[in-house]
Structure 1
Amino acid sequence: KHISPRPHDGPRHTWPHPTARILYSLQEHTSMVDLFAIDPTDGTTLHHLTGVKIIPADQDPKDYWADEVRLSPGPHPRHLYASTRGLTAATRGYVAVFALDPADGTLASDTALHIWQTPTSGGIANAIEPAPRADDDTGVEYLAMTDSEEGWVFMLGFDPRKGEIGEVARVNLGKTGEGEVVKAATAVWL
């Protein structure tokens, strides 16, 4: 079903809050995340709450296609992560971080804590996957991000004390015997 509150948009991926009261829907054409309340009486009716951009205000959404929306780990997630890809190799993507109200999963603010420009467009990927837990000592939340343009897997870290996300490591997957870039579409934590 089409659940975008704006015409000519389209949901790419959705992700539920652990309480099953909020659904986050990433809109591919506008690079926005919409939050919907899930009606507790039937569990299927959605009520639009708000929508936020995951690219800087000075960027044109027509240059991007949104990719993933995910939450930080645990039963009471503290952060929402969303990524977008550049439509061409010359346009780099973004990863945005928003604070969540841990009590109900709504946004603590419509303003992103940080929007980080990715090293490449991401190709068909720039898919993000948070690690199953944060660093116990620092509170840093780690995410894997895949890149199909140049064959990278990036490790990102969001430091809630600084309010910043950035690259902490990377590995290139190399090329096939035929010289083709090895492309990763998604990452899975084991």
Structure 2
Amino acid sequence: MHLHHLLTGSYTNTSLFLLAFDSISRTLTLNSTVPGYGLHQFVTSNAAKDRVYATTMSEPPRLFSWIVDEHYQFTHLDTVNITSSSCYISENSHFAFSAGGPTARINVLDEDGSIGEQTDELYLIPEEDGERVDKTRDAVLYGGHGFDVNVNGKGFVPYLGMNSIYMYDIGENGSARLQSINTSPTEGDGPRNSYPSRDGRLLYVVTEHTQWLDVYEITDTQLKHKQRASAIPSDVRGQFTFRSNTVQPSRDGKYLFTSTRSWNNTEANGYVAAFALDRKGYLEKEEAVTFYEALVTLGSAGGLRVVPWVDETNCDPNGLTDYMYLSDTSEGWMFILGWTPSNHSLDLVASLLYPGNATPYEATWLD
């Protein structure tokens, strides 16, 4: 199979956009638009790829779900009101986990895949302050961003303003018990995005304000910082202002990729960095094996997700092994990058300029 689809949200348009990537012709095209309900900054899908979940930057704060059939037709399942605008949402087939600004929450997933009743709400600030603090999309700039749960039932919420990562124990009933608040190694780091290792032993975190990739060991009740590497080249550090976005593993788990956007400065472009991991999941070296400099600043986006599938059209064992998207709001581009581990290269494979004023934010691969 050489034609693959990804569904993207938009920073400036209420629609969702279904894109088609052809790995033989190396083209990325707009397949269709899907009516949406807000500026869907983040979308994700379940393991079966037949349910899609999205957050929104529009008011009021809400979560959304859709059914996806085999012909890539989308049927809206439900809309759920929440306390504060969530940035990211994740799921583990039983529950949906979302976070944004001062709160995070857990919702049960019903049998049809829709977002069901709330099972717990987490205040990342003193609960008595909840009524007076900002709960709009602006709050994610200094509040909670994501909510990831590992295979051992440990939940993690990076909180920019507190410069910390909140760690929870997630119960089988969808409850969350705070275990620790783990401060980032240096002041002003702003932890933004996390990714738990597949074995549940490690947590990878990218800092938005200081462009570091941090590796933590996950103990029973807290995080132990072990390694730190730069998500941008050393020669641009301190020369321009950047904002790091995402950390993602390669399909085989041997590498990590981070994405960083230039911030309000057209003299500098965004970057993707690649890091080699050892067999235990630690960084082989506390430096990237390569950097890819984007063609644009990436604006407020810099979203990145690695495809979950094997490219069966590529039979070269030393060739390209992973594709990933890279999103841009400065001009409205969606890029597809290719990773070749044999020579540690990241290269542009395909690109699409969104129509009108639409700009992509985050996306989910559907096949």
1:17-166 aligned within 5 A: 17-39=197-219, 42=220, 44-61=221-238, 63-74=241-252, 77-90=253-266, 91-101=268-278, 103-135=279-311, 137=315, 138-166=319-347
Residue-by-residue CA offset, 1:121-157 (whole Å, 9 max, x unaligned): 1111011000003435235211011111111110000
* CA offset digits 1:18-38 (Å, max 9, x no partner): 111010110111101100000
SS at match of 2:363: coil
TM-score, normalised on structure 1?
0.89
Change (3 A) 1:133 1:99: farther
How far residue 59 of structure 1 moved from its aligned partner, in angstroms, is 1.0
Larger radius of gyration: 2
| 1:170-185 equivalences in 2 (<5 Å) | 170-175=351-356, 181-185=357-361
Higher strand share: 2
CA distance in 1, matches of 2:308, 2:191: 25
Could you tell me which runs of 5 or more consecutive residues in structure 2 were left unpaired when the two chains were aligned. 1-158, 165-182
Distance in 1 (CA, whole Å) between partners of 2:200 and 2:229 is 20
State the one-letter code of the partner of 2:215. Answer: L
TM-score, scaled relative to structure 2: 0.47
Q: Is the 8 A contact 2:320 2:338 kept in 1?
A: no
Cα distance in 2 for residues equivalent to 1:85 and 1:139 = 24
CA distance in 1, matches of 2:206, 2:265: 22
2:241–2:265: 8 Å Cα contact kept in structure 1? no
Matches of 2:272 and 2:195, distance apart in 1: 16
C-alpha separation in 1, matches of 2:310 and 2:286: 24
Rounded to whole Å, the distance in 2 between the matches of 1:115 and 1:134 is 23
Q: Which runs of 4+ in 1 moved over 4 A?
A: none
Question: 2:185 & 2:348 partners in 1: Cα distance?
Answer: 33
Distance 1:150 1:89 in 2: 14
Aligned residues: 179
Alignment gaps of 5+ in structure 1: 176-180
Aligned-residue offset at 1:107: 0.8
Aligned Cα RMSD in Å? 1.5
Question: 2:140 matched to which residue of 1?
Answer: none
Which amino acid in 2 is paired with 1:11?
P
1:23-56: CA deviation from partner (whole Å, max 9, x where unpaired): 01101111011000001xx2x4110001100111
Work out whether residues 147 and 184 of structure 1, in 8 Å CA contact, stay in contact via their aligned partners in 2: yes
1:46-101 per-residue CA deviation (whole Å, 9 max, x = no partner) reads: 10001100111111355101111111125xx0110001000125121100000111
Read off the aligned partner of 1:144 and give its amino acid letter. Answer: Y
CA distance in 2: counterparts of 1:148 and 1:52, whole angstroms: 26
